[in-house]
Amino acid sequence: MVDRTSTAAIPATGSPVGGEPLVVLDGVNKHFGALHVLRDVDLTVHRGEVVVVIGPSGSGKSTLCRTINRLETIDTGTITIDGKPLPAEGKELARLRADVGMVFQSFNLFAHKTVLENVTLGPVKAKGMNRAQARDNGMALLERVGVANQAGKLPAQLSGGQQQRVAIARALAMNPKVMLFDEPTSALDPEMINEVLDVMVSLAGEGMTMIVVTHEMGFARRAAHRVVFMDGGQIVEQAQPETFFTAPRSDRAKDFLSKILTH
Amino acid sequence: MTLSDYLDQFAELFATFDVLGAFWQIVRLTAVSAVVSFVLGTVLALMRISPIPSLQWVGAAYVNVLRNTPLTVIILFCNLGLWAQLGLNLASPTSQTFFEQNNFRLAVLGLSVYHAAFVCEALRSGVNTVPVGQAEAARAIGLGFLPTARLIIFPQALRGAIAPLGNTLIALTKNTTVASAIGVAEASALMKTMIEFRPDVIIAIFLTFAIGFVILVLPVGLVVTSLSRRLAVAR
Ligand SMILES: Nc1ncnc2c1ncn2[C@@H]1O[C@H](COP(=O)(O)OP(=O)(O)OP(=O)(O)O)[C@@H](O)[C@H]1O
Ligand SMILES: [Mg+2]
């Protein structure tokens, strides 16, 4: 049984938290065939909050992320973004997806488009922004993530770290209310992890609401307001990063942490 | 027989019969049917990859029926069924060249609906070469199904589909000869006439048409190979 009182708890420290609820999952259940991947998940993320989701492989972290912009449907429960329930399909859904930026483990940059085109496509085609403005915004965002000098190249010509930073810029170009990151650094060579984490930390510092699936404890400590521990499709425990890493309450979290801390 | 004897025979054949006109008819049939079947095949492929089950079903049913029906049957049906029985005129009945035009268009119709099934499957095999993350990323930035297909999936799928599309075009070129079944004066119709009137030079006649088709089809293969090399998507 999930302890509902602790799930609702908001960390006492951590700057911007205390804003109104932005992403609210209520009683979410999801099956893949017979497999129950999300079990009665309740999660509230407030405006400006940075939540790190952690847990063993197969615990449903990616699925959780993907249900929030409805890349996966849910069986029961509700998900609301900024007070609006996720629409079923069509234009309404596409519009709402634009409010939720997503960064994938495998970058998923559009392979046939240049870096700049990757960043301007969404604003121009989904939001109807004029090209010149989208271009200016796009260049500013590429500048911000440190890859402006690669604007004319194709994604395959960039390093993994650069590609992931472009992917972050692409998501930011839609001016989203919340950003989802699904293991953004786990496909990267070690020397490139920090360049991506640094961008994410600065984003968190600017008050972006973020849900980040990652095992990078350094990032969680530096930037997160809350760590959510998942196992077997359930939210088992959540706490401030320091508390969670030093004094986990559940046995499953203790067990998991002992495994990831040994290497 | 010496080579010069053959050359004399070719010269004679070209002087007596409108060989170039007959091949020109092949080119026209191929070009128009290629365009129509590409458009139709694209629509079918969109239906098959769409999230709407009823559209998927219609697309799949179309492909499976048309692809498994002999082309001759389809072309004859266009003529005897659609036109003779159901009165579908594709040209103005008062026109001087009504039969010529109408038969040509009926042939294009038959060739197009048949080859569209192959175009659809070629495009779909191309779509399968595009990683699913591409579509997910497009949906995640708020693009709907059609913009995602048009801007992200098809441009990449097309590159992966060039080889099977080229094969379909080559098959189409050769399959246009079936149009003679409904009286379109294309190359194979002329070949039959020539064999009837000049059975004495039969080898030269066969060579004329074999070489003619090779000349038509060979460049398609070459262009396809170089295109698929040049347009490969780097990942
Ligand atoms: N499309 C799918 N069809 C069927 N089963 C799936 C699908 N996607 C995920 N699963 C299963 O659902 C469970 C949860 O998967 P999910 O990817 O959410 O886990 P995760 O916590 O992200 O794991 P990891 O750390 O390995 O990324 C796993 O058992 C997985 O095999
Ligand atoms: Mg995952």
pLDDT, position A17: 60
A65 or A17, which is more confident: A65
Reported as half-sphere exposure (CB side, CA atoms, 13 A), residue B170 has a value of 17
Contact A112 B141 (CB under 8 A): no
B210 in a structural domain: no
**Within-domain flag for B219:** no
Nearest ligand, measured from the Cα of A36? 1
**What does the pLDDT read at residue A6?**
40
Is B166 among the domain residues?
yes
Total structural domains within chain B = 1
| Structural domain includes residue B228 | no
DSSP string, A18-75: TSPEEEEEEEEEEEETTEEEEEEEEEEEETT-EEEEE--TTSSHHHHHHHHTTSS--S
Residue B12 has a pLDDT of 82
pLDDT tens digit sequence for A220-259:
999 999 999 999 999 999 999 999 999 999 999 999 998 8
Q: Specify if B224 maps to a domain.
A: no
In a domain, B2, yes or no: no
Stretch B71-85: mean pLDDT: 81
* Mean pLDDT of all residues belonging to chain A: 89
Q: What is the pLDDT of residues A7-37, one digit of tens each?
A: 334 444 444 566 889 999 999 999 999 999 9
Please state which of the ranges A10-19, A61-70, A148-157, B19-28 shows the lowest mean pLDDT: A10-19
A108 three-state secondary structure: coil
Would the CB atoms of A102 and B144 count as touching at under 8 Å? no
Give the ipTM: 0.88
Neighboring chain A residues of B154 at a CB cutoff of 8 Å = none
Mean pLDDT of chain B: 87
- Are the CB atoms for A228 and A43 separated by under 8 Å? yes
pLDDT at B232 over 80: no
Q: What is the mean pLDDT of residues A81-106?
A: 85
Residues B165 and B156: beta-carbon distance below 8 Å = no
- The tokens of B87 are what? 């009165």
Q: What is the mean pLDDT of residues A83-106?
A: 84
Q: Which of A66, A114, A125, A127 to mutate to test the interface with B (most CBs of B within 10 A)?
A: A125
Query: Domain range spanning residue B40?
Result: 20-188
Q: Answer yes or no: is B153 within a domain.
A: yes
Indicate the length of chain B as a whole number: 235
DSSP assignment, residue B177? G
Residue B168 is predicted with a pLDDT of: 94
Lowest mean pLDDT among B25-39, B94-108, B120-134, B213-227: B94-108
Residue B106, in any domain of the structure: yes
What CATH number does the domain containing B58 carry?
A: 1.10.3720.10
Q: Are A214 and A181 in contact (CB under 8 A)?
A: yes
> What are the respective helix, strand and coil percentages of chain A, to the nearest 5?
40, 25, 35
pLDDT at A11: 44
- Per residue in A195-219, pLDDT (tens digit) is 999 999 999 999 999 999 999 999 9
Q: Are A174 and A122 in contact (CB under 8 A)?
A: yes
CB contact under 8 A, B151 and A125: yes
Q: Do A95 and B142 touch (CB under 8 A)?
A: yes
Question: Looking at the partner chain, which of A69, A94, A102 has a beta carbon nearest the beta carbon of B144?
Answer: A94
Q: Is the pLDDT of residue B126 over 60?
A: yes
Residue at token pair 């077997």: A232
Contact residues, chain A to chain B, C-beta under 8 Å: 69, 71, 89-91, 94-95, 97-98, 100-102, 104, 106, 108-112, 121-122, 125-127, 154, 156-157, 167, 170-171, 173-174
pLDDT tens track for A79-90: 999 988 887 777
Over range A113-130, report the average pLDDT.
Answer: 94
Length of chain A: 263
A57 lines ligand 1 (CB under 6 A): yes
pLDDT at B153 over 90: yes
Q: Which tokens sit at A106?
A: 């495998």
pTM to 2 decimal places: 0.86
